[in-house]
Amino acid sequence: MTATRTSKSTLADRIARVQGLPHGIVLAVVNQLFEELRSEMISGNLVGFRGFGSFQVRAYNTARGHFDKKPKFRASPSLRRACRDMPIESPEMVKSCGPDLSDRLADRPSRSRLPVLFD
């Protein structure tokens, strides 16, 4: 499984095909969704999508003693489980973890080969 970037246009194209709607209309809705998400975050509001996660802007103290703000995404428990259960078979995915972690991941047995401890 190779990680690829997905654009708003690609998302709109997939939604349009599945729903049988014109690409232009779906793209306008996707663009408006992201604009509303951006606007809510800039206003300081938490934006949450059940089963996906939440977005908000958080303030933190920098090393120089100044406060800065960054957008923060917190994945929902179901999304975290789905990501955790993804197979790590892609060499690009393992290399992107760093040398120490990639060595440990390469030696890790896949979930399907773990012994059954309880029946």
Residues 72, 19: Cα–Cα separation, whole Å: 31
Residues 12 and 28 in one domain: yes
- Paired strand residues for 55: 47, 73
What digits encode the pLDDT tens for the residues 15-64? 999 999 999 999 999 999 999 999 999 998 999 999 999 999 988 877 77
Residues 39 and 49 in one domain: no
Averaged confidence pLDDT in the chain: 80
Residue 54 three-state SS: strand
Residues 51 and 27 in one domain: no
Residue 18 lies in a domain: yes
The DSSP bridge pattern shows strands 67-75 and 53-61 to be antiparallel
Q: Can you list the pairs that 1-10 forms with residues at least 24 positions away whose Cβ atoms lie under 8 Å?
A: 1/86, 1/87, 1/89, 1/90, 1/93, 2/90, 2/92, 3/90, 3/92, 3/93, 8/34
Residue 79 lies in a domain: yes
Residues written for the chain: 119
Residue 52 lies in a domain: yes
Higher pLDDT, 65 or 52: 52
Domain count, the chain: 2
**Domain coverage including residue 20:** 7-43
This model's pTM is above 0.75: no
Query: How many CB atoms within 10 Å of residue 52?
Result: 12
